[in-house]
Amino acid sequence: GQSLEQPSEVTAVEGAIVQINCTYQTSGFYGLSWYQQHDGGAPTFLSYNALDGLEETGRFSSFLSRSDSYGYLLLQELQMKDSASYFCAVVDAGNMLTFGGGTRLMVKP
Amino acid sequence: EAGVTQSPTHLIKTRGQQATLRCSPISGHTSVYWYQQALGLGLQFLLWYDEGEERNRGNFPPRFSGRQFPNYSSELNVNALELEDSALYLCASSLRQGVKMYEQYFGPGTRLTVT
pLDDT at A33 over 70: yes
- Among B15, B76, B78, smallest CA distance to B49 is for B76
Q: How far apart are CA A20 and CA B114, in angstroms?
A: 34
Chain A: give the shortest CA distance to residue B53, in Å: 14
H/E stretch holding A3 reads: strand A3-5
CB-based contact A45 B104, cutoff 8 Å: yes
CB-based contact A96 B43, cutoff 8 Å: no
3-state secondary structure of B84: helix
The mean per-residue pLDDT over the stretch B33-37 comes to: 96
Q: Give residue-wise pLDDT tens across range B45-78.
A: 999 999 999 999 999 999 999 999 999 999 999 9
Q: Which amino acid, residue B65? A: S
Report the mean per-residue pLDDT for chain B: 94
Q: How far apart are CA A16 and CA A12, in angstroms?
A: 7
Q: How confident is the model at residue A88 (pLDDT cuts 50, 70, 90)?
A: very high
CB-based contact B104 A41, cutoff 8 Å: no
pLDDT at A38 over 90: yes
Position A101 scores a pLDDT of 93
> If you count DSSP H runs as helices and E runs as strands, how many of each does chain B have, helices first?
0, 11
pLDDT at B83 over 90: yes
Position B1 scores a pLDDT of 67
Rounded alpha-carbon distances, angstroms, from residue A89 to A34, A35, A98, B102? 6, 8, 5, 9
Contacts of A96 in chain B (CB under 8 A): 45, 48, 56
